[in-house]
């Protein structure tokens, strides 16, 4: 296994679209949301154990989730758990992890990935990442993995690529587009040169540090300032202090959309970002009328179809005459809403917080 290969797992989000199961105090990456016996972050960590040495895997998370990471990933040492004092989107998270690794090993190649995605074809994923790490070592470029789209989905970002290729498979990126309308998504699919943006990145430590210098120079200055304390007892306190100066910006918008050396590897490995209840419904086992029930021990349904039901295993639930609905109960909260209106859940969470405070959030 290559000792220059590193992984950064981003695990700081709160997963509000999975409310009420995902809470601020216990977000979705720490939950066995698919009923597999392992949480999403545990599955992510185990995938990376097949790519790089376990001491080269880092988790960047909110300070409040440190104990959850330690509990669920007991093999991780304290210095591998990088904590953020505040939420500042993905650019500062990536900068912290990459600058720390670069100070430890300037020859490092790094894969950065979310903690809460589903990968069905693990072997294909590992092959894609290893190809990308090799290309990152050889070329001074920034690599992202693009998923070959199976439908015009409005929930994903899109990457347009050109015929300009390096290492046989890595295409020069032309444009990034955030979640489009359905009509635009259909146009993208028909054109044949667009991929879904999986939010998985690969680069050498040198290439990403240079990119911060070129496109987010103030953030580069902030994390370069900490070089003297990385991997020391002073690191946490120092980084927490300078983190407050970071702007709230994503790595996509701050660097990937601006840099001229960005390449995409078209990939297929059974990927889902598990961003909404609809994505869980698509993946879950269903009965003959389309109902997906997790867990299913004490749920009885009459004249009901195409429903997504997730309730505590000790709760008896009877549904009658319900079609195309999401029914979720957790933590003294019950959500019932039409499946085609689940995009409103983030607003529901905001309204609950406004009316009842953080008790239910």
45 contacts 71 by C-beta, under 8 angstroms = no
pLDDT at 244: 93
Q: Find all residues with CB under 8 Å of 42, minimum gap 6, and list them.
A: 72, 73
Could you give phi then psi for residue 321, rounded to 5 degrees? 70, 30
Instruction: Please name each of the domains of the chain with its CATH number.
Output: 5-272 (3.90.550.10), 277-356 (no CATH)
Mean pLDDT, the chain, whole residue set: 93
Three-class DSSP category at 194 = strand
For the cut 90, the answer to whether the pLDDT of residue 296 exceeds it is no
Phi, psi (degrees; rounded to nearest 5) at 92 = -65, -35
Give the integer Cα–Cα distance in Å for 136 and 98: 14
Q: Note the pLDDT of residue 17.
A: 85
Which of the pair, 295 or 4, is modelled with greater confidence? 4
**DSSP bridge pairs for 171:** 165, 264
At 241 the pLDDT is: 95
**Which residues, listed in sequence order, are joined to residue 329 by a DSSP beta bridge?**
334
Whole-prediction pTM value? 0.93
d(CA 269, CA 118): 10
**Contact residues for 258 (Cβ-Cβ < 8 A; gap 6+):** 215
Residue 295 scores a pLDDT above 80:
no
Element (H, E) at 267: strand 262-267
Residue 295 CB neighbour total at 10 angstroms: 14
Cα–Cα distance, 80 to 166 (Å, whole number): 33
- Write the pLDDT tens digit of every residue in 121-138: 999 999 999 999 999 999
- 188-244 confidence digits (pLDDT tens): 998 889 999 999 999 999 999 999 999 999 999 999 999 999 999 999 999 999 999
Interval 171-188: pLDDT, tens: 999 999 888 888 999 999
What is the pLDDT at residue 45?
98
């Amino acid at each position: 296994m290559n000792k220059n290969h590193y992984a950064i797992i981003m695990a700081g989000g709160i997963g509000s679209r999975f409310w009420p199961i995902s809470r601020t105090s216990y977000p979705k990456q720490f939950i066995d949301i698919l009923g597999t016996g392992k949480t999403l972050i545990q599955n992510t960590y185990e995938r990376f154990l097949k790519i790089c040495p376990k001491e080269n895997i880092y988790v960047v998370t909110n300070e409040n989730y440190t104990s959850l990471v330690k509990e669920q990933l007991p093999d991780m040492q304290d210095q591998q758990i990088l904590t953020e004092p505040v939420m500042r989107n993905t650019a500062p998270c990536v900068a912290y992890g990459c600058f720390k690794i670069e100070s430890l090993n300037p020859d490092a190649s790094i894969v950065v990935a979310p903690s809460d995605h589903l990968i069905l074809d693990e072997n294909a994923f590992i092959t894609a990442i290893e190809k990308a790490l090799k290309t990152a070592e050889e070329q001074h470029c920034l690599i992202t993995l693009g998923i070959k789209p199976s439908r015009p989905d409005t929930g994903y970002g899109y990457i347009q690529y050109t015929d300009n290729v390096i290492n046989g498979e890595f295409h020069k990126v032309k444009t990034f587009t955030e979640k489009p309308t359905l009509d635009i998504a259909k146009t993208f699919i028909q054109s044949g040169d667009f991929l879904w943006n999986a939010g998985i990145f690969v680069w050498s430590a040198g290439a990403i540090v240079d990119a911060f210098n070129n496109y987010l120079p103030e953030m580069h200055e902030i994390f370069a300032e900490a070089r003297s304390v990385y991997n020391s007892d002073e690191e946490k306190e120092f980084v927490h202090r300078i983190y407050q100066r970071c702007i709230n910006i994503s790595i996509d918008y701050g660097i990937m959309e601006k840099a001229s050396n960005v390449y995409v590897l078209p990939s297929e490995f059974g990927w889902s970002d598990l961003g909404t209840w609809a994505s869980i419904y698509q993946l879950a086992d269903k009965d003959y009328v389309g109902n997906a029930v997790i867990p299913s021990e004490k749920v009885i349904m009459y004249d009901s179809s195409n429903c997504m039901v997730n309730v505590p295993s000790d709760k008896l639930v009877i549904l009658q005459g319900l079609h195309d609905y999401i029914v979720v109960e957790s933590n003294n909260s019950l959500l019932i809403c039409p499946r085609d209106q689940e995009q409103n859940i983030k607003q529901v969470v905001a309204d609950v917080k406004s009316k009842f405070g953080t008790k239910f959030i």
